Amino acid sequence: MSEHSPQEIRAEALESLLVERGFLTGEDVDESIEVYSERVGPMNGARVVAKAWVDPDFRVRLLADATSAIEPFEFQGGEVQKLVVVENTPAVHNVVVCTLCSCYPWALLGLPPTWYKDPAYRSRIVREPRRVLVEFGLSVPDGKEVRVWDSSAEVRYLVLPERPAGTDDLDEAALAALVSREAMIGVAVL
């Protein structure tokens, strides 16, 4: 028998209580889990990134009007009503934050990581982005510009990472498997 973490025990107790009181059903819980683990999450953003890497026309549309460019994907979930994609290049590294709260493109990246919502990240990444990135294990060369993009209730940002060298022979699915949520926020590279 495996031991459950305190969070798992609390989640199970909360689920049981909500089902017992008639606020939801076990099927409601299963459906929510499916939405956030299979239909909403970083694999959606990774698919967008991979398509941009292999389809130059899509890349141009994505950078010009990301909201329209991703419509054919029919992503479920929210927070992509106004999406802007910013591209990392050899000269520029982009990183995303929401200084007011934790605005975040859920449909593309899933649930925000705890550190993204932390007031220290939200304030420090704006003031000292290079130092914060080093704390994530990413050292941006001195000659490379760092741009910080502040998401809001009106606009969400996604970083289009640079395509890793040596991946010319990979198809979209294999490329998508390389893309991390952290790279699409800009606190990591591939």
Token pair listed for 73: 């994907």
Which of 103, 139, 152, 180 is catalytic? The answer is 103
For the cut 60, the answer to whether the pLDDT of residue 40 exceeds it is no
Of 73, 91, 98, the residue nearest 158 (C-alpha)? 98
Pairwise CA distance, residues 38 & 7, whole Å: 21
Task: Please give the CATH number for the structural domain made up of 42-185.
Answer: 3.90.330.10
Given a contact cutoff of 8 angstroms between Cβ atoms, the answer to whether 184 and 45 are in contact is yes
Domain coordinates of the chain in residue numbers? 6-38, 42-185
Alpha carbon 59 to chain centroid, angstroms: 18
Catalytic residue of the set 98, 139, 151, 152: 98
Q: What is the pLDDT of residues 104-148, one digit of tens each?
A: 888 888 888 889 999 999 999 999 999 999 999 999 999 999 999
Set 32, 37, 101, 152: catalytic member: 101
Active site residue 152: no
Question: Residues 137-180: pLDDT tens digits?
Answer: 999 999 999 999 999 988 999 999 999 999 999 999 999 999 99
pTM of the model: 0.81
Look up 123 and say whether it is catalytic: no
